[in-house]
Amino acid sequence: MAFENLSEKLTAAFKRLRSKGRLTSADIKEAMREVRLALLEADVSYKVVKDFVAKVSERAQGAEVLESLTPAQMVIKIVNEELTALMGSENSKIAISSKPPTVVMLVGLQGAGKTTNGAKLAALLRKQGGKRPLLAACDIYRPAAIDQLETVGAKLDIPVFQLGKTDPVQIAKAAVEHAKKHGNDMVFLDTAGRLHIDETLMDELRSIKAAVEPDEILLVVDAMTGQDAVNAAAAFDEALGIDGIMLTKLDGDARGGAALSVRAVTGKPIKFVGTGEKLDAIEPFHPDRMASRILGMGDVLTLIEKAEQSFDEKKALELQEKLRSNRFTLNDYYDQLTQLKSMGSLSDIAGMLPGVDKKALEGANIDESMLGRTEAIILSMTKAERENPSILNSSRKKRIAAGSGTRVVDINRLLKQYEATRSMAKQFTGSKLPKAFRGKGGKGLFGF
What was the pLDDT predicted at 2?
59
What was the pLDDT predicted at 178?
96
Contact 279, 123 (CB under 8 A): yes
Contact 15, 59 (CB under 8 A): no
How many beta carbons lie within 10 A of that of residue 189, not counting itself?
A: 30
Whether residue 101 is preceded by a cis peptide bond, meaning omega within 30 degrees of 0, is yes
Tell me how far apart the terminal alpha carbons of the chain are, to the nearest angstrom. Answer: 29
Report the CATH superfamily, name and number, of domain 302-442: Signal recognition particle, SRP54 subunit, M-domain (1.10.260.30)
CB-based contacts of 331: which residues, under 8 Å, 6+ apart? 378, 386
At residue 403, what is the residue type?
A: G
At residue 270, what is the residue type?
A: I
What is the fold of 4-86? Answer: Four Helix Bundle (Hemerythrin (Met), subunit A) (1.20.120)
What was the pLDDT predicted at 212?
95
Global pTM value: 0.67
Going residue by residue through the chain (448 aa), what tens digit of pLDDT does each one get?
556 778 788 888 887 777 776 777 888 888 888 888 888 888 888 888 999 999 988 888 776 665 665 777 778 888 888 888 888 878 888 989 989 999 999 999 988 899 999 999 999 999 888 999 999 999 999 888 999 999 999 999 999 999 998 899 999 999 999 999 999 999 999 999 888 888 888 999 999 999 999 999 999 988 887 778 888 888 899 989 999 999 888 776 656 677 788 888 888 899 999 888 888 889 898 888 888 777 766 545 555 555 555 555 666 666 666 666 667 788 888 777 776 666 655 555 655 555 455 554 454 455 556 777 888 899 899 989 988 898 999 999 999 999 999 999 999 988 988 887 777 666 555 444 444 434 444 444 433 3
Contact 281, 68 (CB under 8 A): no
Crossing angle, helix 330-341 and helix 368-379, to 10 degrees? 160
Which CATH number fits the domain 102-297, given the four candidates 3.40.225.10, 3.40.50.720, 3.40.50.300, 3.40.640.10?
Answer: 3.40.50.300
Report the distance separating Cα 323 and Cα 138, nearest Å: 52
What was the pLDDT predicted at 111?
87
Bridge partners of 55, per DSSP, are none
How many beta carbons lie within 10 A of that of residue 347, not counting itself?
A: 18
CB-based contacts of 95: which residues, under 8 Å, 6+ apart? 102, 215, 216, 243
3-state secondary structure (DSSP) of residue 443: coil
Report the distance separating Cα 350 and Cα 131, nearest Å: 31
CB-based contacts of 145: which residues, under 8 Å, 6+ apart? 115, 137, 139, 190, 192
Instruction: Provide the residue ranges of all domains of the chain, joining segments of one domain with +.
Output: 4-86, 102-297, 302-442
Report the distance separating Cα 254 and Cα 250, nearest Å: 8
What was the pLDDT predicted at 288?
84
What was the pLDDT predicted at 433?
42
What was the pLDDT predicted at 437?
39
Report the distance separating Cα 197 and Cα 260, nearest Å: 22
